[in-house]
Chain A
Amino acid sequence: MTTSILDPTTWTMRREEEVMGTVVVLDLYGDASVTSDELSPSLHAAIHELHEADRIFSTYDPASALSRVRAGTLELANAPRVISDVFELCRDARELSDGWFNHWGLAGGVDPTGYVKGWAAQRALEQLRAGPARAAMVNAAGDLVCFGVPHPGELFRVGIADPFRTDSLVALADLRAALATSGTYERGAHLIDPFTGRTDARLASASVSGPDLGMCDALATALCVAGEGMLATIHSLAGYEAFIVGLDGTRRWTTGFALAGVTDYDLTAAG
């Protein structure tokens, strides 16, 4: 735990956990009076959520419950309850996205992993929220969710990666809850058009903010495939907003998106 020189009443703590094929970063902020012992249970509970999600939902592990459900060797009714829960949430996402998010439409059978990373990060955050931390942010490979504010009067400020250039950001945004970005530059992108079955996308990147990271993740994936016509759909969902970068680099966003700046922020020129 580190106490900031700028704000000595606040300590910060960063934990990097290798899980779900990536590294999930947990940043915690708290009052200087909170000890690491007091913090530990909620941090461990948060990390446990991530590993449980990995264990149950891994599509790389043939022995995971999800893999066995996919293979037909495990009845859904006998599988961990969270699999049914996630399938139900995926149905909600499919409905809300007019079918553009469809975890049944993927090659290899039902694959909710496009939802699970955000869902697990959100559950980890809820564990931190129940603990003594005053604020926290979980970054699951570029999908972000937070509660509270890092310092009094200062919101979490995040950048959105430029899909075309490795050394710049396309926008800055204030984060109050969740923000997920999906892009055609994504590693192993599950960007498959559920209506054609083709690997396709109509946007270079799509970011969706809202109250729940699992839903943001699903909607960002759907938006990236569906294209800007879906902006109005997302804007109509209570609490959800979007920011997109078109294949030609055009940036558009819904009126409620908490944009803190549109920028060609050249990181190499900074400092």
Chain B
Amino acid sequence: MTTRRTPMVVLGAVIGLVAIGSFHASPAALAMTTTAPAPTSRSAPTPTKQSTTTPSAPTTSSTPAAPSAVRSQTGSTVNYNYGMLAVSVTVQGKTITNISVPSLNDGGNSYSQSLDSMSIPILTKEAMAAQSAHIQSVSGASYTSAGFIQSLQSALTALGI
């Protein structure tokens, strides 16, 4: 079942059409593939090789077993051009398990609010992906805030990570 909603986001003179939906009835979940179908393929990509190994257990560069204590830390409050924010990070051992933005003062203008709603989830994703997926970067339509990185870094430093 697919639902879709299309909030309109006005950024200055630019109107961004944002389509957000829920999907993922995909049987290809967690499947790895080594060959791709022709570009004109009418059907969804059908992986030819499937692995039941979940990518959440990378083995290529395992770190020494760290203390599994769950700790949280809120970073310093920083200016991110459109307001002030502070980033909170939760770690288990040395692995980031959650990132949130508990403190955000954007002055209530629509421009910064639209940035907040779209960019902060993406920033969170990038920060977590870099650590957990063993990838160097994420390609996506994103907005990266120096303030977000700065606050996150201060939280991680406070945690000794």
CB pair B139 A159 closer than 8 Å: yes
The reply to whether the CB of B16 lies closer than 8 angstroms to some CB of chain A is yes
Indicate if the CB atoms of B26 and A249 lie closer than 8 Å.
yes
Q: Does A22 sit within 8 A of B, measured CB to CB?
A: yes
Q: Does B55 reach chain A (CB closer than 8 Å)?
A: yes
A190 touches B19 (CB 8 A): no
Number of A-B contacts (CB under 8 A): 224
B95 contacts chain A at the CB level, 8 A cutoff = yes
- Per-residue CB proximity of A176-202 to B under 8 Å, as 1/0? 000111111111111100000001110
Contact in complex: B36, A159 (CB < 8 Å):
no
A231 and B40 form a contact (CB under 8 A) = yes
Flag whether B52 is at the interface (Cβ < 8 A). no
A169 to B56, CA, bound (A): 12
Q: How far is the CA of A156 from the CA of B130 in the complex (A)?
A: 12
> Is A181 within 8 A of B140, CB to CB?
yes
Task: Name the one of B124, B133, B141, B143 contacting A183, with C-beta atoms under 8 angstroms.
Answer: B141
Q: Is the CB of B23 within 8 A of A249?
A: yes
A268 touches B98 (CB 8 A): yes
Q: A161 near B30 (CB under 8 angstroms)?
A: no
Chain B, interface SS category: loop
Q: Is the CB of A22 within 8 A of B144?
A: yes
- Shortest distance from the beta carbon of A212 to any chain B beta carbon, whole Å: 15
B121 is an interface residue with CB less than 8 A from chain A: yes
Identify A204's interface contact among B19, B39, B45, B97, CB under 8 A. Answer: B19
Whether A160 lies near B140 (C-beta < 8 A) is yes
Task: Please state if A199 and B17 are interface contacts (CB–CB under 8 Å).
Answer: yes
| CB closest chain-A residue, reference B47 | A262
A261 near B122 with CB under 8 A, answer no
Inter-subunit contact B142/A252 (CB<8 Å): no
Q: Does A271 contact B (CB under 8 A)?
A: yes
Structural contact, B56 and A161, CB atoms closer than 8 A: no
Could you tell me if A188 and B14 are in contact, using CB atoms closer than 8 angstroms? yes
What 0/1 readout, one digit per residue, does chain A (135-153) give for beta carbons within 8 Å of chain B? 0010101111000001000
A159 touches B138 (CB 8 A): yes
Whether B21 sits at the interface, judged by CB under 8 Å, is yes
Among B89-142, those with CB < 8 Å from A are 92, 95-98, 114-115, 118-119, 121-122, 124-125, 128-129, 131-142
Chain B residues closer than 8 Å to A173, beta-carbon distance: 139
Q: Does A87 contact B (CB under 8 A)?
A: no
Contact among B32, B39, B97, B115 for A254, CB-based, below 8 A: B39
Cross-chain contact B149 with A160 (CB below 8 angstroms): no
Interface presence of B146 (CB below 8 A): yes
B31 at the interface (CB under 8 A from A): yes
Instruction: Tell me, rounded to whole Å, the shortest Cβ–Cβ distance linking B71 to chain A.
Output: 14
Cβ A247 vs Cβ B4 within 8 A: yes
Contact A259 B33 (CB under 8 A): yes
Q: Which residues of the partner chain B approach A142 to less than 8 Å between Cβ atoms?
A: 122, 138-142, 144
- Specify which of B19, B44, B96 lies most central, judged by the most chain A CB atoms within 10 Å of its CB: B19
Question: Which residues of B are interface residues toward A (Cβ below 8 A)?
Answer: 2, 4, 11-24, 26, 28-33, 36-41, 44-45, 47, 54-56, 61, 92, 95-98, 114-115, 118-119, 121-122, 124-125, 128-129, 131-146, 149
Taking A169-B133, A271-B96 as given, write out 17 further A-B residue pairs in contact, using a Cβ cutoff of 8 Å, ordered by the A residue number: A139-B144, A141-B143, A142-B142, A158-B135, A158-B139, A163-B141, A164-B21, A167-B125, A184-B19, A254-B36, A257-B36, A263-B29, A265-B129, A266-B56, A268-B97, A269-B54, A271-B92
Question: What would 16 A/B residue contacts be, using CB atoms closer than 8 Å?
Answer: A108-B13, A158-B139, A159-B139, A161-B125, A163-B141, A164-B24, A184-B17, A189-B16, A251-B28, A251-B45, A262-B28, A267-B132, A268-B97, A268-B98, A271-B131, A271-B132
Residues on A facing B (Cβ under 8 Å): 6, 16, 18, 22-23, 25, 27, 107-108, 137, 139, 141-144, 150, 156-161, 163-169, 172-173, 175, 179-191, 199-201, 204-205, 207, 231-232, 234-235, 242, 247-255, 257, 259, 261-271
